[in-house]
Homo-oligomer: A and B are copies of this chain.
Amino acid sequence: MSSNRDIDALIDMMARLPGLGPRSARRAVLHLIAKREMQLMPLADLMHKVAATARECLNCGNLGTTDICDICLSEKRANGQICVVEDVADLWAMERGHAFKGRYHVLGGTLSALDQIGPEDLRIPQLVNRIDAESVTEVILALNATVDGQTTAHYIADQLEGRVTLSSLAQGVPIGGELDYLDDGTISAALAARKHL
């Protein structure tokens, strides 16, 4: 397309990223080459650094560069609450809401009969273990309002019933909506109005 092999390969790789297509990939690559000292090289360096260091928190599944993430390490966040989310993007969305002061548990997906994803494929056993280990008193299920998300919420509620107070995000999460698409205020409102199960 550009008549150069490496530049074409770079455009192809960029075009495969979520949210980009061939046209925006071409524009992004031209922009980066035009600013190679200030943008292309620092971006490549940062990608190498993140590729070498990024890892999932062994406790909660959050993404960071240490075995245990900053949120799990922070004593301030040990308030007895755990917010259960499907993936790291949802954890970030909750953090942008600045409303939740406890810790997280990232499942890594949802239960799915169709895709043969069972409790052992997610971080559900680890969640159950954390209840006693971290003296958890409340688990907030912040799962997406999809069929699989709600199936997963019910399964977790069954596992933890009687051991902790269970709640789920309520007001403001539209039917079929995904957390990561919501504005920060909506997430805060949904958290404040959470309904106990």
- From the candidates B18, B23, B44, name the one contacting A24 in the complex (CB within 8 A): B18
For A87, list chain B residues within 8 Å (CB).
30
- From the candidates B3, B25, B30, B41, name the one contacting A95 in the complex (CB within 8 A): B3
For A69, list chain B residues within 8 Å (CB).
3-4
For A33, list chain B residues within 8 Å (CB).
50-51, 54, 63
Shortest C-beta distance, A92 to chain B (Å), equals: 6
Q: Are A31 and B4 in contact (CB under 8 A)?
A: no
Interface centre among A19, A26, A28, A96 (most CB of B within 10 A): A19
Kindly state whether residue A148 has any CB partner on chain B within 8 Å: no
For A88, list chain B residues within 8 Å (CB).
2, 30
For A16, list chain B residues within 8 Å (CB).
39
> Total interface residues on A, using CB and 8 Å?
57
Main secondary structure of the interface of A (DSSP, over half): helix
Q: For chain A, residues 97 to 155, give those with C-beta under 8 angstroms from any C-beta of chain B.
A: none
Kindly state whether residue A158 has any CB partner on chain B within 8 Å: no
User: What's the Cα separation between A2 and B63 when bound, in Å?
Assistant: 8
Interface string of A8-28 (1 = CB under 8 A from B): 011001101111100111111
Interface string of A144-184 (1 = CB under 8 A from B): 00000000000000000000000000000000000011000
Given A20-B24, A44-B48, answer yes or no on A65-B96 (Cβ-Cβ < 8 Å).
Answer: no
User: What's the Cα separation between A43 and B16 when bound, in Å?
Assistant: 11
Kindly state whether residue A46 has any CB partner on chain B within 8 Å: yes
Q: Are A180 and B44 in contact (CB under 8 A)?
A: no
Kindly state whether residue A62 has any CB partner on chain B within 8 Å: yes
